[in-house]
Structure 1
Amino acid sequence: MIKKKSRDSSFRLTYLILGLTCLGLGASWIFKTYLGKNAQSTAGGFLAGFAMPVEVSGVKQETIYDEVVTVGTMEGDASVMVRPEIAGRVADIGFHEGQKVSKGDLLVKLDDSIYAASVAESEANLSFSEAQNQRQNSLYRQNYTSGGKKDEAISKFKVDEAVLKRKKAELEKTRILAPFDGFIGLRKINLGDYLQAGQDIAMLVNLDPIKIQFSLPEIYLLNLKVGQKIEITSDIFPDKKFIGEILAIDPVINESGRNIQVKGKLPNPGLLLKPGMFVRVKVILEARENSLLIPEEALVSQGDHHFVYKVIEGKAKFTQVNIGVRREAMVEIRQGLSAHDKVITAGQIKINDGIPVKIVPEQKSKNVL
């Protein structure tokens, strides 16, 4: 009894295997005879005559800039702390804080009464020495005096002449003048103050043009040159860009940070930029004209390789490309496309290489998946 049941089970299993085999052969025959005949009119599982709706974009040509961004600090084109070279009491202040001044304008006048008296005294001494020198020269020619006295008179005259020059210079220094055009800062003195030589009066700075100092890693050394374009932006003026150029490059690389110190110069219309301001600096390293750009959404990445779907004669062509920089949702294409190509930007997930496609306007993008 047990043997009979076992034999029946074996027969059923054999019939099941034979049935599945026949079913598989039938499916294979149907695929070869029906789908095989229509292979040329069918692509990627779509029936002949059907085209997948897609959005496309043309390849754009623009100038691409290779650039590096860092931070920097603004500096005045020229700046100096105004200080007296001699001591004296402040007799007059010739500026208002924040005022624009020109080279040679009087900033501070020190009391000059003592210095003027010293000049008068020195002039009198020089006049006497000159007369004595002439008298000794006359006596020497007549052999009424020795050569030593003549030489002593000449020496006294030259000394008094030098003293007078020094006294006049001191008198001139009681008038403290602006050394260049610029804006005078907050004053640190008051009328009547007695100033010592070298005491701070106020900062004078030229704001237009203005300079910027920044640093870059040493790897950019060969990409930098004087006259190179730079672009300055600040959080204070988010919608403004200030264009300048590199003025100087430090010949010595900083050992601690391995950085290159760079100084730039730029016009400052409206005097918006101020010394000490923290800004971002974009250095243009290279400009490539007529570079090809496509929207980022057209790019299909597979590992380290990048592809796009070109539209050629109504069909999608899967094409490998080499990319460059990315700028504002656009990608630079360095190899694989030409300027007249059109690439698919929406609908790629439902197409394969060779699939017929139908270009739809961009406003219908909600229906393109």
Structure 2
Amino acid sequence: MQHLFCVLVVFIFIIGCGQGENSTSPSNKKSGGAKKSTKKQASFRPPVQVEVGKIREKHLKVKVDIVGTTTALRKAVLSAAIAGEIVKINLQEGMTVTKGQPLVQIDTYSWKAKVAEKKAECLRWEAEIEKLKNGYIEQEIKRAAAVLQEKEAALKRLEAEKNRQQDLLKQNGIARSEWDAARFSFDEMAAQVEQARAELKKMKDGSRFEDIKIASAHLKTMQAQLRQAEDSLNNTTIKAPFSGMISKKYVELGEWISSGTQIADLVDLSQVRVQVSIPEKYISLVRLKMKAKVKMDAFPGWETWGTVSAIIPRTEGLARNFPVELIIDNPKGNIYEGMFCRVEGVLREEAGVLLVHRDAFIHQQGKISLARITKERSVETIEIVTGVREGEWFEIVSSSSPLKKDDIVVVTNNNNVYPGAKVIITKGL
């Protein structure tokens, strides 16, 4: 019946074209008649034969089933902070250790001596500051006064000798060098007298603020050096920074090590990270704290739940996959680094999602449209935005006009339909 209808339409079209040619005979050559004929031809288009499909409604569940690898929750490369000889070691690969447990002991002799030296320096400067604050005792002041008197008496004697030598020089009774020696001795003693006077005045007046400040600065320097020496002494014992397992040992008893030498690798396996790669099309659905089921070939029949702890914002090569990490508990401590595992997760679950087959897509200027068939068997073009893909079917995220389940859309000959076009459905209903 449909083929008969098509033949009838084509026949009517041919007759119409013939009548149009007769109406433009040589006897009717006016331009108005020609334009009217052209308009009549353009306004008539035959129906387009198409195949159609329907929009589906589905309970959508986006799942991933990917492989991953385990890594330790925490890792640390234990290194020496100071140089020295290893005199004691408590370290074996595979050994379980607790936080703060001593693992390696470096010789302490030189560092203990350094600490004692800096402590003595601190005590000396503390005493000096105390002395400056309390002032000089009376005996020291008397002793300084006696020194001054002695030097002043010596100065008077030298002054008298200088004057005598000067008189002799004028009478040419002595050589010039003898006069110079007497004058030099007098000047030297005069300087000593001035210094003794200043020292006595300082004792009587008390210490100046600047002296106490300088001594305090020396004390702070010594205290800082003492703390540094004490830290170095503490660093002679290398301890576990957290509880875990020794995965690699690098040193032996009796070795001389320098600062920065690797001692051991420590891993925390109380929990384990599972590293997976999520395809780009799914990464927008991954959220922190999402749950996923984790299985391991090493433990047949065993499974646990992991929690997404990190989404790494970079792709892995040309594959456009994004690294994602999950955390799983490891109460028995039998899940080690580098173990193979499988991760199953539901990234999204939603009821009443509309899906359309990819054959219905009309691509124009970077956008996607559908040709929906109306009750009058004419075409209505609707622009859509797609989401998740399931095989050949795509989620309809949004549309320029409302769409619903069982709406009929063109799936073949899409590029030949246009808004308002009449169609002949050859397949699909």
> TM-score higher than 0.5 here?
yes
Aligned-partner Cα distance in 2 for 1:254–1:121: 57
**Quick one: distance in 1 between partners of 2:222 and 2:73?**
42
CA contact 1:212–1:265 (8 Å) conserved in 2: yes
1:281 corresponds in structure 2 to 343
> Contact between 1:231 and 1:241, CA under 8 Å: does it hold in 2?
yes
Is structure 2 residue 167 aligned with structure 1 residue 105?
no
CA 1:175–1:236 in structure 2 vs 1: closer, same or farther (change >3 Å)? same
Name the SS of the counterpart of 1:220 in structure 2: helix
SS of 1:211 mapped into structure 2: strand
Residue aligned with 2:266, SS: strand
Superposed displacement of residue 147, structure 1: 3.4
**Cα offsets for 1:129-182 (capped at 9, x unmatched):** 111122223338963333332221111011001111111011011111111111
| Structure 2 counterpart of 1:82, from 78, 82, 88 | 78
Structure 1 residues 142 and 83, CA gap change in structure 2 (3 angstroms) = farther
Q: Against the structure 1 CA distance between its residues 219 and 155, is the aligned structure 2 distance closer, same or farther, given a 3 Å change threshold?
A: same
* Alignment length (residue pairs): 233
2:186 aligned residue: none
Work out which of the residue numbers 125, 131, 135 in structure 2 matches 1:135. Answer: 131
Aligned 8 A contact 2:248 2:266 in 1: no
SS of 2:289's partner is: coil
CA–CA distance in 2 between the matches of 1:234 and 1:285? 21
Distance 1:78 1:201 in 2: 17
Q: 1:162 maps to which residue? A: 224
- TM-score, length of structure 2 as denominator length: 0.50
Distance change >3 Å, CA 142–CA 204, structure 1 → 2: farther
User: With structure 1 as the length reference, what TM-score do the two structures score?
Assistant: 0.57
Q: Deviations over 1:177-198 (max 9, x none)?
A: 1111111223211111111112
Q: Which amino acid aligns with 2:345?
A: V
Please give the secondary structure, in 2, of the residue aligned with 1:201.
Answer: strand
Counterparts in 2 of 1:1-369, with a 5 A limit?
Answer: 66-139=62-135, 143-253=205-315, 256-287=318-349
Hey, what's the Cα distance between the residues in 1 that align with 2:101 and 2:60?
Answer: 48
CA contact (8 A) 1:228 1:284 kept: no
1-side partners of 2:203 and 2:302: how far apart?
81
Change (3 A) 1:160 1:68: same
Give deviations 1:51-94, integer Å, cap 9, x for gaps. xxxxxxxxxxxx99632122222111111111111111111112
Deviates more, 1:214-223 or 1:153-162: 214-223
Match of 1:5 in 2: none
- Seen in structure 2, the aligned counterparts of structure 1 residues 287 and 134 have a Cα distance that, compared at 3 Å, is same
Report the counterpart of residue 321 of structure 1 in structure 2.
none
Quick one: percent identity of the two aligned structures? 29
Secondary structure of the structure 1 residue equivalent to 2:210: helix
In structure 1, how many angstroms separate the alpha carbons of the residues matched to 2:240 and 2:327?
23
Tell me the CA shift for residue 325 of structure 1: 8.6
Q: 1:207 to 1:142 in 2, by over 3 A?
A: farther
Q: How far apart in 2 are the matches of 1:229 and 1:284?
A: 8
Structure of greater Rg: 2
Q: Equivalent residue of 1:279, what SS?
A: strand
The aligned amino acid for 1:202 is A
Distance (whole Å) between structure 2 residues aligned to residue 196 and residue 89 of structure 1: 9
Aligned to 1:119, the other structure's residue is in SS state helix
Counterpart AA for 1:239 = G
Cα displacement string for residues 235-262 of structure 1 (whole angstroms, at most 9, x for unaligned residues): 3334322321101112445575432221
Preserved CA contact (<8 Å) 2:99 2:242: yes
- The alignment partner of 1:115 has SS state of helix
In structure 2, C-alpha distance between the alignment counterparts of 1:189 and 1:130, rounded to whole Å: 43
Name the CA distance, whole Å, in 2 between partners of 1:159 and 1:142. 30
Pairwise CA RMSD = 2.9
The structure with more strand, counted as a fraction of residues: 1
Q: Distance in 2 between matches of 1:176 and 1:64?
A: 56
Unaligned runs of 5+ in 2: 1-58, 136-201, 352-358, 360-388, 392-404, 407-429
Instruction: Indicate how the Cα distance of structure 1 residues 235 and 129 shifts in structure 2: closer, same or farther if over 3 A, else same.
Output: same
**Are residues 219 and 88 of structure 1, via their aligned partners in 2, closer, same or farther at CA, if it must alter by over 3 Å?**
same
**Change beyond 3 A, Cα 1:236–1:135:** same
Q: Which amino acid in the other structure matches residue 325 of structure 2?
A: K
* Structure 1, unpaired ranges of 5+: 1-62, 290-303, 305-323, 327-334, 337-369
Relative to structure 1, is the Cα distance of residues 175 and 141 closer, same or farther in structure 2, using a 3 angstrom cutoff?
farther
